[in-house]
Amino acid sequence: MFKGSNVALITPFKDDKLDTENYIKLINFHIENGTNGLVPAGTTGESPTLSHDEHQKVIELCIKEAKGKIPVIAGTGSNSTAEAVELTKHAEKAGADGALVVTPYYNKPTQEGLYQHYKAINDNTSLPIIIYNIPSRCVIDMTVDTMARLFELKNISGVKDATGDLKRLDQTIEKLGHEFIQLTGEDGLAFEFNKRGGVGIISVTANIAPKLCSDMQRCSKSKFDNEIKEAERIDQLLQPLHKSLFLESNPAPVKYAAKLLGLCDDSIRLPLVKINKETQEEVTKALRAAKLLS
């Protein structure tokens, strides 16, 4: 159901308010450039600093503008189970195709706590749920065994794996099989992840290089050698860009890149701040290397 290049959408701001005009333009930019899915209100969309009204609005706008042309996987995670349930219910009512639910941060639940958190969300929706496992931000790491338990529930469909550990992909395939959707959250590992059995990505880089990212994803799963080689070529072309976009906390660098490409302003909400001059130079250099900026 969910595969290929899914973009972790940035949320553009103007005067510290949601920039609706550029947000809608961004969505159409992705549809026109082959992006396979839209993921609003995730970490890259600055969900921690969106108000509840803004959170719901960016999801509603994304669904309305996508018009069913490509799937919308709404970010509905929270470290409060009750809040995650309500956000997921709202996304379903708004017409989302799936929900991306991050592991609860700060609380540090046990594996049983993780299971019960996702079970509660599962029991209150009919949306397919993608687990977002990102130990670097959430401290906790969901085990393959816990995922296997969750996969027995009716709506748990897959994982956005941001562990950075390709062995985890192998272990998950071995335990859960290929029906369990595996999307990477690591742009730099996207090509290798697909080679080893993954089916796609939820990408930061796709915000500013949607066609290159979608072409790489498509070619990486091809049966033809020439297309596999093309996927590898694109992957190598994008590696400096992937690296530059994480020199400072995401999404500050990708918002600066979006500004250089005329997509939106690089305004970002505290406690994050705009990137420093050295990072700006690296992002600019990487955009030029990828032939996205003259």
Active site amino acids: 132, 160
Q: Is the peptide bond before 271 cis (omega within 30 degrees of 0)?
A: yes
Tell me the residue type at 244: S
What is the Cα–Cα distance from 84 to 250, expressed in whole angstroms?
Answer: 22
Other CB atoms within a 10 A radius of the CB of residue 41 amount to 27
Tell me the residue type at 280: Q
Helix or strand (DSSP H, E) at 216: helix 210-220
Determine contact, residues 156/129, Cβ cutoff 8 Å: yes
Nearest one of 154, 158, 102 to 130, comparing CA atoms: 158
What is the Cα–Cα distance from 175 to 232, expressed in whole angstroms?
Answer: 28
What is the Cα–Cα distance from 140 to 110, expressed in whole angstroms?
Answer: 8
What is the Cα–Cα distance from 145 to 127, expressed in whole angstroms?
Answer: 22
Query: 3-state DSSP call for residue 129?
Result: strand
What is the Cα–Cα distance from 234 to 213, expressed in whole angstroms?
Answer: 8
Query: 3-state DSSP call for residue 222?
Result: coil
Helix or strand (DSSP H, E) at 108: none
Largest Cα separation within the chain, whole Å, is 52
201: β partners:
5, 184
